[in-house]
């Protein structure tokens, strides 16, 4: 038997009041959160609590629906390497949200599980249900009240009891906004969405991806940066130089930090057909304003950055 559940997180302010939730159906779900946390913490805690809530069913496979590339890549790709390096990333810096990752690493031992990426805010029934409950938990903490922690699973202590036994670390200063991104094609039956609404969701997705890629949490880790880039990625940087994937790898090997972003002011967002979106925006980085244009392409269900150009303003 397979248990299929969606896991999601939410943060109001990021960091700010934060919530998490997993959802199987209306009779089996759980939620929780903190008065101060991040979106990434919520995403990770939702997965962790799902493993803990189903620990009495070790023979059942967990099919986890997740709209966070950060979570999927971290648990399935990067975590084994982090452990070998003493829970350090490829640049030698400590892993963000370390305690949550250690707890997930312990919780998944001996378990059968698989992750499936689903597009967030696109009408997927289970994902929407988890998102609603995570956001409700964050909103409850914002209002100074305890959230509805849900029924959980029969015979299993409630989410509040499990969370009470979990010491949550303070949010990492560079935790990034997760909107999130794409890991694999979605094999479930697609939801028939209004074309205009789908285009709007695609544009929003690309904006969130662009914001995520410019964050310090992503720019400081080569594996995370590579997960966003198309194989034929090219960029004209603000100094006029041409950058591609090999240039970025060389910069990391030479311990040269990639410049991080700032506030984005979108000037135009143009969908080109069903699988391409172009963004034009002003990037406010300190005292400098940079005009940027980026071109994202969806490849096998994943949005990847194909081209980007920066032009400094006077």
CA 140 to chain centre: 22
Both 145 and 20 in a single domain?
Answer: yes
**Residue 37 falls within a domain, yes or no?**
yes
CB contact at 8 A, 79 and 43: no
> How would you label 72-83 residue by residue, b for 16+ Cβ within 10 Å and e otherwise?
bbbbeebbeebe
Neighbours of 234 (CB within 10 A): 17
Both 111 and 211 in a single domain?
Answer: no
Both 220 and 122 in a single domain?
Answer: no
Nearest 5 degrees, angle CA 168-CA 173-CA 177? 90
Please list, in sequence order, all residues whose beta carbon lies within 8 angstroms of the beta carbon of residue 37, skipping any fewer than 6 positions away: 11, 15, 16, 17, 18, 168, 171
- pTM as predicted: 0.58
Both 13 and 159 in a single domain?
Answer: yes
Q: Which residues are catalytic?
A: 8-9, 43, 67, 121, 131
CB contact at 8 A, 172 and 38: yes
What is the span of the domain harbouring residue 215?
195-312
Domain count along the chain? 2
**Residue 106 falls within a domain, yes or no?**
yes
Q: Please give the structure tokens belonging to residue 32.
A: 């929780």
CATH number at residue 62: 3.30.420.10
Both 155 and 206 in a single domain?
Answer: no
**Residue 129 falls within a domain, yes or no?**
yes
CATH number at residue 223: 3.10.450.50
Both 278 and 202 in a single domain?
Answer: yes
**Residue 188 falls within a domain, yes or no?**
no
Both 36 and 131 in a single domain?
Answer: yes
Distance CA 76, CA 72 (A): 6
Both 74 and 117 in a single domain?
Answer: yes
Q: What is the pLDDT along the chain (314 residues), one digit of tens a residue?
A: 899 999 999 988 767 899 999 999 999 999 999 998 888 899 999 999 999 999 999 999 999 999 887 888 889 888 888 888 898 876 677 888 889 999 999 999 999 999 998 887 778 999 999 999 999 999 999 999 999 999 998 756 555 455 544 444 444 443 433 323 333 333 333 334 456 767 777 787 788 788 878 877 777 778 778 888 899 999 998 888 999 989 888 887 777 666 666 677 888 888 888 889 999 998 886 677 889 999 999 887 778 899 999 998 86
| Rg (alpha carbons) of the chain, rounded to whole number | 20
Both 11 and 153 in a single domain?
Answer: yes
Both 204 and 73 in a single domain?
Answer: no
Main-chain dihedrals φ then ψ at residue 26, nearest 5 degrees: -65, -20
CB contact at 8 A, 138 and 33: yes
Count the alpha carbons within 13 Å of 259 in the hemisphere toward its beta carbon: 13
Both 90 and 239 in a single domain?
Answer: no
Distance CA 77, CA 82 (A): 10
């Amino acid at each position: 038997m397979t248990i299929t559940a969606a896991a999601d997180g939410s943060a109001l302010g990021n960091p700010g009041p934060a919530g998490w939730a997993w959802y199987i159906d209306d009779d089996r779900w759980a939620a929780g959160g903190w008065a101060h946390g991040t979106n990434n913490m919520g995403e990770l805690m939702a997965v962790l609590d799902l493993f803990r809530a189903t620990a009495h069913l070790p023979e059942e496979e967990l099919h986890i629906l997740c709209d966070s590339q950060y979570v999927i890549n971290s648990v399935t790709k990067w975590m084994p390497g982090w452990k070998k390096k003493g829970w350090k990333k490829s640049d030698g810096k400590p892993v963000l949200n370390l305690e949550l990752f250690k707890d997930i690493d312990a919780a998944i031992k001996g378990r059968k599980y698989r992750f499936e990426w689903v597009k967030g805010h696109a009408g997927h029934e289970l994902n929407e249900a988890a998102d609603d409950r995570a956001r409700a938990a964050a909103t409850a903490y914002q209002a100074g009240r305890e959230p509805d922690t849900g029924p959980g699973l029969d015979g299993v202590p409630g989410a509040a009891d499990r969370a009470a036994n979990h010491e949550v670390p303070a949010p990492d200063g560079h935790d990034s906004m997760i909107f999130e991104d794409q890991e694999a094609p979605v094999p479930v039956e697609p939801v028939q969405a209004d074309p205009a609404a789908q285009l709007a969701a695609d544009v929003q997705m690309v904006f969130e991806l662009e914001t995520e890629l410019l964050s310090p949490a992503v720019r400081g880790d080569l594996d995370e940066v590579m997960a966003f880039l198309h194989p034929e990625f090219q960029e004209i940087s603000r100094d006029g130089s041409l950058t591609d994937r090999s240039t970025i790898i060389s910069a990391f090997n030479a311990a040269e930090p990639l410049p991080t972003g700032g506030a984005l002011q979108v000037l135009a967002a143009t969908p080109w057909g069903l699988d391409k979106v172009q963004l034009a925006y002003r990037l406010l980085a300190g005292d400098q304003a940079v005009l940027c244009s980026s071109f994202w392409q969806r490849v096998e269900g994943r949005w990847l950055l194909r081209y980007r150009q920066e032009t400094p303003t006077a």
